[in-house]
Structure 1
Amino acid sequence: MAADLFKYTKAIVCGIPDSLVAEALRMDEGGEPVDLERARQQHEDYIQVLTELVGEIHIIPADEQFPDCVFVEDPVVVCGDTALVTSPGHKSRRGETVAMKEAVTKLGLSVVEMTEPGRMDGGDVLFTGREFFVGQSARTNEEGLKQLAASFPSYPVTGVKVTGGLHLKSVMSMVAPDNIAIGTSPAAVDAKEAIKRDGHFKYSFLSVPDNFGANCLFVNGIIIHVSKDAYPKSCEVFDKFSCPGVSEKIAVNMSELNKVDGCLTCSCVLIN
């Protein structure tokens, strides 16, 4: 069953380097600066929630050479017992794969490494439990999609053009089995239509007013979503959401990492 693939026993996270504040990649170059102390406290709260839900947390130490290293979702895609170590789309992030490969190898996963000319950020990969949707963005190319398909041959893989924002999961994520939380921006609407048109299975969609708000985690029957402090309208949508298989909801504030395009899915790798 697809729902079984959202049951996790481990997670990988990474510390936040000092260099994130001045050097992390961000779409809004003139945006509000990150409060490093607050970002680390929010991240600790996030890790505590994951610890309570999955039990086993593996922490990669922060590396000052890689300002974006906290966003561990991008250098790897894990499904079942296979880990595809990607080749991130921005060259400044490709060195992050060394520590990630070491982490997934220690956990006993079967490791596949993406090769040239493939490019992929894990933030472009939405796994529904039945199939993969892969954002075709500035960070992920067609060759990356092909290598993902070869790495996970049991599942259909469909490309979705990203018409705005950084990644596909900048506007959507799985909120429950066969349920996709999705923003209301033009890019989100485009992606939704592509999934409805080209997907191999049918899904229900939960409309969330904020793109950041539409990024959530579904872990062992529990939804981790944005907090009321950061996105009150989106939080209200999750409060009202009901679906079989959802036992609880937990709000987590990651507003500081939002400033450098980080979402809830970005900061962990979940392992069955």
Structure 2
Amino acid sequence: MRSYSFTHAIARRPAASIIRGLRAVDTGAPDLALMQAHHDSYVAALRGTGAEVTVLDALEAYPDSVFVEDTALCLPEGAILMRPGAPSRLGEAAEMEPHLAGLYSQMRRISGEDSFIEGGDILTTETEILVGRSARTNVAGIAELARLVADWDHVVREVHTPPGVLHFKTDCSLMDAETVLATDRLAVSGCFDGYKVIPVAPGEEAAANAIRFNGIVLFPAGFPRTRDQLADAGYTVHEIGNSECAKIDGGMSCLSLRFTPS
């Protein structure tokens, strides 16, 4: 259960500069007040499971810094600082480092000048770490991560993010040790062979980015057919508003680092 059962989480308040956040398609600027209200509900849901949740101050210099998941990979043995593939986000990992250093005895970092990797492309299961190659995560970044976790007995498997999709986890999320929620466009690649796949309902592809966090699934509001599929499968689904994060390509997993520190 180490891939979905956690004692800690870290989130960061959205900055006013988030209106300049990166996005594939401009559907309008996020409403900061509404985003903060959604964020508060998100943090409350995490805390409601009994986890210790740290909420960091906003970073105005980094418009996308609310999406803390991209800055690090947190494993039971230690934390690995990422090297984001978007130039405007390169400094975010350094901002996260002191907060993780206070919790982990082992800290490592992706450091190669040609290496880029973001946490949104990493799905950790009970048996392996799947890393999707994307516009934000390259071959060098994946290879460096594989070297850094080898002595912790973690196996990294490179997979491919569908064309036009920001991150691997935009299209999938782990529900339990054997089960993944995924879009058809991702599952058809065969990357989840050996897992049980719950398909996202047609037209609800944005519902694929959810989080199994302890006893609940944090799930973006507005996707009733996929929500009902998860409920029918026995999961406790907790819906959270995501309309504003979605305007800058964000989802449930992006908003936190989830871990049990060493």
User: How far is 1:63 from its partner?
Assistant: 0.7
Q: Judging changes above 3 Å, is the alpha-carbon distance between structure 1 residues 173 and 121 closer, same or farther for their aligned structure 2 residues?
A: same
Distance (whole Å) between structure 1 residues aligned to residue 177 and residue 162 of structure 2: 26
Question: Residue 67 of structure 2: SS of its match in structure 1?
Answer: coil
Q: Secondary structure at the match of 1:73?
A: helix
Aligned partner of 2:199 among 204, 207, 217:
207
Matched residue, 1:13: 11
Percent identity of equivalent pairs: 26
The superposition leaves residues 75-133 of structure 1 with CA deviations (integer Å, 9 ceiling, x where unpaired) of: 10111131110110001001111221111001134110111221101000011121011
Q: 1:124 to 1:61 in 2, by over 3 A?
A: same
Once residues 58 and 6 of structure 1 are traced to their aligned partners in structure 2, the CA distance between those partners, rounded to angstroms, is: 18
Are 2:80 and 1:80 aligned?
Answer: no
1:157 maps to 2:156: yes
Give 1:1-272 correspondences, 5 Å limit.
3-21=1-19, 23-29=20-26, 31-116=27-112, 117-153=114-150, 154-164=153-163, 165-184=165-184, 186=185, 188-191=186-189, 193-196=190-193, 202-209=194-201, 210-227=204-221, 230-242=222-234, 246=235, 248-272=236-260
**Is the Cα–Cα contact under 8 Å of residues 30 and 245 in structure 2 kept in the other structure?**
yes
Q: Does the 8 Å contact 1:163/1:190 carry over to 2?
A: no
CA distance in 2, matches of 1:119, 1:4: 26
Q: Aligned equivalents of 1:249 and 1:89: distance in 2?
A: 32
Q: Which amino acid aligns with 2:88?
A: S
Q: Is the 8 A contact 2:210 2:219 kept in 1?
A: yes
Question: How far has the Cα of 1:190 moved from its partner?
Answer: 4.3
**8 Å Cα contact 1:225/1:238 also seen in 2:** no
Post-superposition offset of 1:194: 2.9
For the 8 Å contact 1:9–1:55, the answer to whether it is kept is: yes
Q: Please give the root-mean-square deviation of Cα atoms over the aligned residues, in Å.
A: 1.5
Find runs of 4+ consecutive structure 1 residues off by over 3 angstroms.
Answer: none
Distance in 2 of aligned mates of 1:109 and 1:13: 20
**CA deviation string 1:192-236 (max 9, x = no partner):** x1332xxxxx21000012222011111223222222xx2222222
Question: Do 1:45 and 1:252's aligned partners in 2 also have CA atoms closer than 8 Å?
Answer: yes
Q: For this pair of structures, how many residues does the alignment match?
A: 254
The 3-state SS of whatever aligns with 1:195 is: coil
What is the one-letter code of the residue matched to 1:97? A
